[in-house]
Amino acid sequence: MSGVGEPAWLLAFVCGAVFLLSVLPLIHLGWAGLKGLEGGEAASVLLEAATFAALRNTLVAAAGGMVISLVVGALFAFVVALTDIRGKLALSFAFMLPMMIPPQVTALAWVEMSGPSSPLLKTLGLAPPLGSPQPLYSLAGIALLLGVQHAPLVFLAIKAGLATHPRDGVEAARLSGASPWRVFRDIVLPLACPALIAGGAIAFISGIGNFGIPAILGIPASIETLPTLIFAKFASFGSSTFGEIAVLSTIIASISAGGLLLQQRALKGRDYRLIGLTGARAAFTLGRLRIAVETLLWGTLALVLVAPLLALVASSLVPAYGVPLTLHTVSLQAYGEVLFRQTVTLTALKNSVFLASAAAVGLLVIALPAGYLLAARRGRVANLLAILIEIPYALPGIVLAVAFILAFAAPLPVIGVSIYGTIWIILAAYLSSFFAVSLKPVMSAFLQMDPSLEEAARLAGAGFLRRMRDVLLPLVAPAAGASVILVFLIAANELTVSALLWSAGTQTLGVAIFNLDDSGSSNLASALSVLVVAVVIGLMATLEVLAKYLPEGVLPWRN
Amino acid sequence: MAQLILNHLTKDFGAKGPGEGGPAVSDVSLTLRKQGFLALLGPSGCGKTTVLRMIAGFEQPTDGSIEFGECRLSDAVRVLPPEKRNMAMVFQSYALWPHMTVAENVGYPLKVRRISGEAWRSRVAEALSLVRLTAYADRRPSALSGGQRQRVALARCLVQQPDIVLLDEPLANLDQHLRKAMEETFRAFHERSGATMIYVTHDQAEAMALATDVAVMSEGKLLQVAPPADIYARPEGRVVGSLIGRGAIVRLRLPEKAGRQLDWPLLQAALAGRRSGHGHAGEGPLSDVLIRPEQVHPDSGGMPMRVLSSVFEGERSALTLALPDGQSLKAYSNKAFCHGTEVPFVISGGWRL
């Protein structure tokens, strides 16, 4: 399409939004990092033993998590995409849940499931004796949970990769006389290789930036990772803090960028142009093995998803820490506390609902014109804009939070008021971080729309705003709805960004759960977490109901 | 109504990749007759759709201009936006808005022009009755068949009384017998609306059946514009000759003074001369000669040719014949022939390209 179509203000509007949300904070981060290194004082943080330990811990935990994610995610993806097992949609939905559940809740649930004080184990009489160590408070524990949390990313990458496989390629191999196992080894696996690499890289990068899991599991055992180290430095605010956290953030950002580059290099020359009938899945019939495979998958899900969530529910039903759950001790007191009595949790609920709704609706207002523009106009400007929108989402939350602190700590020009310490800085960071989340469904709706629908409206005489209102918006409405729900879902559960940006009165749900657990009120933290998980499942189910009105590939668990 | 003039129209999308070196449309000049029906014919990728989209205002020419009467619609500097052109288009995909009913789709151009109430209703009803879809007014496009959708798109064009109607391969997605019916609808539409129509197609039979003028494009260039009967009888050059109608192009030595319309004695001499390698007819430079199948008849006084294939097509058989020198020729016959037999044929006429 030529550039004749859209009015000039559209490009200016989108560029302005991208500048404020992406470019400005990134410039501040880069600038502060440079200045910190130059001044020497902040650069000394690089030589501290704690930094080295944190760097090592981060890399080990992220690598371990990646291996676990790859094994579990690939198993589920291959089985769901290639075989004739039953209940695929339910399996996919359940398997995707860990990705949507906030990491600190996952960590909390696993802690409640294992260890000496687990109400669930106590009730079942399986709890280890009091005083024995909690096995999850270790680097291995962090890696395990990172693996569980990010396995859905690998699952998605491989499933998406396999979905584009030509079925006739597999059928031709079968006719050539290859056994199912040979076909898998010789045809499917090589073709799935790019997706495996991509999935592994995403899992690794997500592990590097994860804050919730090492915060809950690492801090009690004094195991620091780079994100928790930044958090600790920030908590003990000193004169060189800004420089130090800028330098540390730069390290995280470079490891992430390095991971992405490595992935791109590995993928080079592996772009197998697929020819033939795609879309239809290549099905292997499992026969008598089917029931065994189904048992394996649902058993794994029971272990990594159902059991921790049950433990979480159990902990939320006991009146105090360490009490076993029996018919006599069960009480809803914790729910009463978090929902009606504790002002901290009530404020957090209110803040999170406000932040999530404002981010979701505000981003829609930006994402609609941006999606239209990027879909209509391809070329260098559009590519650059797309990359700039993607960067804050790809950056670990802790780095983005630091960038926003650096950009907005000083009073705003012109009005002379600082938004630092208010809820608005969290909102600004959310807008930046989730722009890409909001844009994706809207943009794919615009891309999948037949351009002649808009052209017909133009010839009918409708100007830009007119055809936007009468033709384009009604057609992208379902995708816009999905965009709002997805952003709400992610923003309401967010911890990492708000952990650095909150202050008294502006705590979010994620922060409240973290603080409650930190102060030993594990039953209140559990109750709040159970509520959060319930809302997550509810919103995901709503999207599932909407699914048939949405463009392909908008819902992460359905592709 | 004013005339539409394309003036040295050129569109270059920039080098897009191997094999797409030249501009998509290059130096196309054309004046449409008032209320004419122009078919823009050419193989896919020849630039005909780009010309149409430039006329609509979706693409800006890199050089040249488009004028409508006194008004300049497009040139390399300025483009009048499509919404201000009072043109209508039938898209290959029909481009019906799925969230509106049939009546809302048809009435949208009126709604944009702030026509509402009784005037809106009566004009929509009139347009729908013309395409025989009155009963479907309240349905959604998804509940209609391909041919019905096509007619809704046509009604939407009709309702706004456009100056120019553009049709972008409108029959490409329909099956054979629907095409015939739709051609009839288009003809009626043209007579009724009095609009200038431009019809892009790669199907020459469609172009011949509908248009008052046929323009043939190839590789971005306009090769010939003429009424259908003219372009069939007197195509310019090898490309047009092979695109329009059926026929065989043979290379013959013809005397310089021979005209372009060739008769049997001349052709016979040329063929014979070529075989024997001497004689005055076989001496001139080599020329491309188009011979239509209906110009080749079995005749006992003709020249013997070998039957290479004989395919029964229903109303007649289509033959492929080999000339004595090995070049092949097409012919129609009411009688089937055996493969390999030698049969005498007369070529009643040919056209030097």
- Identify residue B277 by its one-letter amino acid code: G
B141 lies within 8 A of chain A by CB: no
Chain B residues touching A459 at Cβ < 8 A: 56, 82-83, 85, 87-89
Residue B229 lies in a domain: yes
Distance CA B106, CA B103 (A): 5
Instruction: Please list, in sequence order, all residues whose beta carbon lies within 8 angstroms of the beta carbon of residue B251, skipping any fewer than 6 positions away.
Output: B286, B287, B288, B289, B327
A462: nearest CB among B83, B89, B98: B83
Distance CA B156, CA A275 (A): 39
**What phi, psi does B307 have (nearest 5°)?**
-80, 115
Return the pLDDT at A268: 63
B83:A475 CB<8 A: no
Return the pLDDT at B40: 92
Q: Are residues B202 and B252 in the same domain?
A: no
- Which of B184, B212, B234 is the endpoint of a domain? B234
Hey, is B9 helix, strand or coil?
A: strand
- Which of B182, B207, B234 is the endpoint of a domain? B234
B59 lies within 8 A of chain A by CB: yes
Hey, is B132 helix, strand or coil?
A: coil
Q: Are residues B276 and B315 in the same domain?
A: yes
**Nearest residue in B to A456, CA atom:** B95
* CATH label of the domain that carries residue B176: 3.40.50.300
Strand order in the sheet with B261-262: B248-253, B286-291, B350-352, B261-262
Return the pLDDT at A116: 74
Residue B240 lies in a domain: no
What the block records as the tokens of A147 is: 């693996």
Domain span including residue B344: 248-352
Residue with tokens 């491989």: A158
A461:B79 CB<8 A: no
Instruction: Please list, in sequence order, all residues whose beta carbon lies within 8 angstroms of the beta carbon of residue A490, skipping any fewer than 6 positions away.
Output: A100, A434, A437
Q: Are residues B127 and B191 in the same domain?
A: yes
A459:B97 CB<8 A: no
Do residues B257 and B244 lie in contact, with contact meaning Cβ atoms separated by under 8 Å? Answer: no
B82:A458 CB<8 A: yes
- Which of B182, B209, B234 is the endpoint of a domain? B234
A456:B81 CB<8 A: no
Distance CA A365, CA A486 (A): 15
Q: Got the DSSP string for A240-275?
A: THHHHHHHHHHHHHHHHHHHHHHHHHHHTT------
B109 lies within 8 A of chain A by CB: yes
B112:A452 CB<8 A: no
Return the pLDDT at B118: 93
What the block records as the tokens of B166 is: 């553009």
Q: Are residues B44 and B66 in the same domain?
A: yes
B57 lies within 8 A of chain A by CB: yes
Instruction: Please list, in sequence order, all residues whose beta carbon lies within 8 angstroms of the beta carbon of residue A303, skipping any fewer than 6 positions away.
Output: none
A461:B88 CB<8 A: no
Residue B239 lies in a domain: no
Residue B243 lies in a domain: no
Q: Are residues B176 and B293 in the same domain?
A: no
Do residues A532 and A520 lie in contact, with contact meaning Cβ atoms separated by under 8 Å? Answer: no
Do residues A394 and A256 lie in contact, with contact meaning Cβ atoms separated by under 8 Å? Answer: yes
User: What is the distance of C-alpha A76 from the center of its chain?
Assistant: 19
B83:A470 CB<8 A: no
Q: Are residues B219 and B279 in the same domain?
A: no
Q: Got the DSSP string for A28-60?
A: HHHHHHHHHHHHSTGGGGGGSHHHHHHHHHHHH
Bridge-partner residues for B250, per DSSP? B289
Q: Are residues B194 and B263 in the same domain?
A: no
User: What is the distance of C-alpha A369 from the center of its chain?
Assistant: 24
B99:A459 CB<8 A: no
Distance CA A273, CA A257 (A): 26
> From the candidates A459, A467, A549, which should be mutated to test the interface with B, based on the most B CB atoms within 10 A?
A459
CA Rg value for chain B: 25
Do residues A88 and A286 lie in contact, with contact meaning Cβ atoms separated by under 8 Å? Answer: no
Chain B residues touching A466 at Cβ < 8 A: 112
Strand order in the sheet with B317-322: B328-333, B317-322, B296-312, B342-347
Per-residue pLDDT of chain A (559 residues; tens, 9 = 90+): 344 567 888 889 999 999 999 898 888 888 877 777 776 666 777 778 888 899 999 999 999 999 999 999 999 988 888 888 888 888 888 888 888 888 888 888 888 888 777 777 777 777 777 777 788 889 999 999 999 999 988 888 888 777 666 666 777 777 777 777 888 888 788 878 888 888 888 899 889 989 989 998 998 888 999 999 988 888 777 666 777 888 888 888 888 888 877 777 766 655 444 444 444 455 677 778 888 999 999 999 998 888 888 888 888 888 776 677 777 777 788 888 888 888 888 889 899 999 999 999 999 999 999 999 988 877 788 888 888 888 888 888 888 888 888 888 777 777 778 888 889 999 999 999 999 889 988 888 888 888 889 999 999 988 888 998 999 998 888 888 888 888 998 898 888 888 888 888 888 988 888 888 888 888 888 888 898 889 888 888 888 887 777 776 667 666 5
Hey, is A6 helix, strand or coil?
A: coil
H helices within chain B, ranges in order? 48-56, 102-112, 117-130, 146-159, 176-193, 204-210, 228-233, 237-243, 264-276
Residue B241 lies in a domain: no
Do residues A196 and A158 lie in contact, with contact meaning Cβ atoms separated by under 8 Å? Answer: yes
DSSP state of B234: S
Do residues B343 and B326 lie in contact, with contact meaning Cβ atoms separated by under 8 Å? Answer: no
For the question of whether the overall pTM of this predicted structure is more than 0.95, the answer is no
CA distance A512 to chain B (A): 44
Do residues A214 and A144 lie in contact, with contact meaning Cβ atoms separated by under 8 Å? Answer: no
Q: Write out the E strands in A333-459.
A: none
Chain A residues touching B93 at Cβ < 8 A: 450, 452
User: What is the distance of C-alpha A552 from the center of its chain?
Assistant: 20
B109:A461 CB<8 A: yes
B91:A458 CB<8 A: no
First to last CA, chain B: 36
B114 lies within 8 A of chain A by CB: no
A453: nearest CB among B79, B95, B113: B95
Do residues B177 and B101 lie in contact, with contact meaning Cβ atoms separated by under 8 Å? Answer: no
Q: Are residues B95 and B134 in the same domain?
A: yes
B93 lies within 8 A of chain A by CB: yes
Instruction: Write down the domain spans for chain A.
Output: 41-165+194-322
CA distance A482 to chain B (A): 18
Task: Select from B51, B46, B148 the least CA-distant residue to B106.
Answer: B148
Instruction: Please list, in sequence order, all residues whose beta carbon lies within 8 angstroms of the beta carbon of residue A553, skipping any fewer than 6 positions away.
Output: A160, A444, A559
Chain B residues touching A473 at Cβ < 8 A: none
Q: Which residues of chain B have pLDDT under 50?
A: 17-18, 275-279, 281
Q: Are residues B215 and B342 in the same domain?
A: no
Task: Select from A233, A270, A217, A240 the least CA-distant residue to A517.
Answer: A217
A462: nearest CB among B87, B91, B112: B112
How high is the ipTM of this complex? 0.78
Q: State the total domains in chain B.
A: 2
CATH code of the region A41-165+194-322: 1.10.3720.10
**Nearest residue in A to B81, CA atom:** A4
